[in-house]
Amino acid sequence: MTKVDAMKLPGTATARISQRTLLGVLDTVRQYDAIHRAAGSVHSCALFHGADLLVSVEDVSRHNGVDTIAGWMALHGVPGGDKILFTTGRLTSEMVMKSAHNGIPIVVSRNGVTAMGYDLAAKLGMGLFGRAANRRFLCYVGAERFDVEPLLGLIRNYFVYCGASRSKPSQNMAHQPSWSPTAPAMARPNRMPHGDGRGCLPRASTRGLALSILFGRAIAGAVGDHDGWCAMFWLGLLLDAPQYTK
């Protein structure tokens, strides 16, 4: 722990993860849990370059899984600066430290984050995503490394934002994300959050989705595809007037 200050991870400009990549990681790991499905009581750990799986292991110990990944990286001379680590175990301070020691700046877990893990990751400038399963996840720290793609969620008729879990973290877990959709209007940011939201937008109605696509494509013909699709997204929100989840 005394060497924490000496650890240097890649900056936010070079080590990032997009919403599409994160969802791709979650889709991929579901295909590599044969032991868990057959016997249960094991942890999965995987290393990704973007959404591409490099290596995956299953072990009875989450620490053994991370150590196996670290050994594979050392044997093959694989740097961690542009990699994403996935684990099904809790993100404790030890797990965060092992990831940082291997130069991995972004860690995704199916489980939660402890307070010590949260504090250590914040100090190191890492990105921690917990409670990540299916299309829901929480960004506990490092939202500046995350690229939200709201149009992706609109087309899928489902909005997935950092903090999509409705369950409250236990007392021994990390601090709740700082932005909440239930906060007073004056306390909310004047744009969609770049992560750290406690809730997610609900499913868009068929009416709002159809109208937004219709008007968005009409605008796209006049001002260009990019601006048209952006207008489609915001117009869909206005027409459908969705309410935030509690």
Give domain limits for the chain. Answer: 4-155, 206-246
pLDDT at position 196, please? 38
Residue 244 scores a pLDDT above 70: no
Highest mean pLDDT among 27-41, 126-140, 175-189: 126-140
Over the stretch 78-128, which tens digit does the pLDDT of each residue have? 999 999 999 999 999 999 999 999 999 999 999 999 999 999 999 999 999
Rounded to an integer, the average pLDDT of 176-192 is 38
Place of tokens 């995987």: 46
Percent of the chain with pLDDT over 90: 49
Give the separation between CA 176 and CA 5, rounded to whole angstroms. Answer: 25
Model confidence band, residue 134 (pLDDT cutoffs 50, 70, 90): confident
Q: Which positions ≥6 away from 19 have C-beta within 8 Å?
A: 146, 147, 148, 149, 152, 153, 160
Cα pseudo-dihedral 151, 155, 161, 164, rounded to 10: 170
Reduce the DSSP state of residue 133 to 3 states and report it: strand
Q: How much is the pTM?
A: 0.63
Mean pLDDT of 242-246: 39
Is residue 240 over pLDDT 50?
no
Q: Indicate if the pLDDT at residue 47 is higher than 60.
A: yes
Average pLDDT over residues 191-205: 40
CB 147 within 8 A of CB 17: yes
- CA–CA gap between residue 32 and residue 44 (Å, rounded): 8
Q: Which residues partner with 18 through β-bridges?
A: 147
**Domain 4-155 maps to which CATH number in 3.30.470.30, 3.40.140.10, 3.40.190.10, 3.40.50.720?**
3.40.140.10
Q: What is the mean pLDDT of the chain?
A: 75
Going through the chain in order, the beta strands assigned E by DSSP cover 17-18, 43-49, 52-59, 84-87, 106-109, 127-133, 136-141, 146-147
Per-residue pLDDT band for 48 (boundaries 50, 70, 90) equals very high
Higher model confidence: residue 151 or residue 132? 132
SS3 assignment, position 138: strand
List CB contacts of 238: < 8 A, sequence separation 6 or more.
none
Tell me which DSSP letter residue 135 carries.
T
The yes-or-no verdict on residue 181 having pLDDT over 90 is: no
pLDDT value of residue 139: 95
Give the C-alpha separation, 58 to 43, whole Å.
Answer: 5
Q: What is the pLDDT of residues 216-230, one digit of tens each?
A: 666 656 655 555 555
